[in-house]
Amino acid sequence: MKWISTTIKRKWMDKILSGEKRVEFKGMTDFWKTRLLPLCGRGDVAINFLCGRESYKYNVLVVEGFFDDLDDGAYKDIDGVRYNEWFEITLGGRIE
């Protein structure tokens, strides 16, 4: 199994834990491209969320990359930063 590890703000972690948020977004920076592009389409991926001193693990259903190459001004706002290329990490069940 391949693992992704990332820090996350408490407000987003609370939404994931409640089931309200099922997708984690990452801007397509060089940092995340290196880590996530090789995982697109794989089925053996899990994610470890680090929130303060707590750690939460989830199975990942799919990692997908999105590109807005239409030059129509569309973007994804991720924590106040606009990205026209981003990753969506769809979460599965929690790993206890």
Burial (0-12, 13-18, 19+ Cβ within 10 Å), 25: middle
Which pLDDT score, from 0 to 100, does residue 55 have?
A: 97
Short-list 50, 49, 86, 56, CA closest to 69: 86
Delimit the domains of the chain by residue range: 2-95
Question: What mean pLDDT is predicted for residues 85-96?
Answer: 94
What CATH number was assigned to the domain covering residues 2-95?
2.30.130.30
Position 41 confidence tier, pLDDT thresholds 50, 70, 90: confident
Which pLDDT score, from 0 to 100, does residue 5 have?
A: 97
Question: Using only C-alpha atoms, what is the Rg of the chain?
Answer: 13
Question: What mean pLDDT is predicted for residues 53-73?
Answer: 86
**Per-residue pLDDT at 81 exceeds 70:** yes
**Per-residue pLDDT at 19 exceeds 70:** yes
Which pLDDT score, from 0 to 100, does residue 20 have?
A: 97
Question: What mean pLDDT is predicted for residues 39-66?
Answer: 95
HEC string of the chain? Answer: CEEEEEECCHHHHHHHHHCCCCEEEEECCHHHHHHHHHHCCCCCEEEEEEECCEEEEEEEEEEEEEECCCCCCCCEEECCEEECEEEEEEEEEEEC
Q: Enumerate the β-bridge partners of residue 85.
A: 67
**Per-residue pLDDT at 57 exceeds 90:** yes
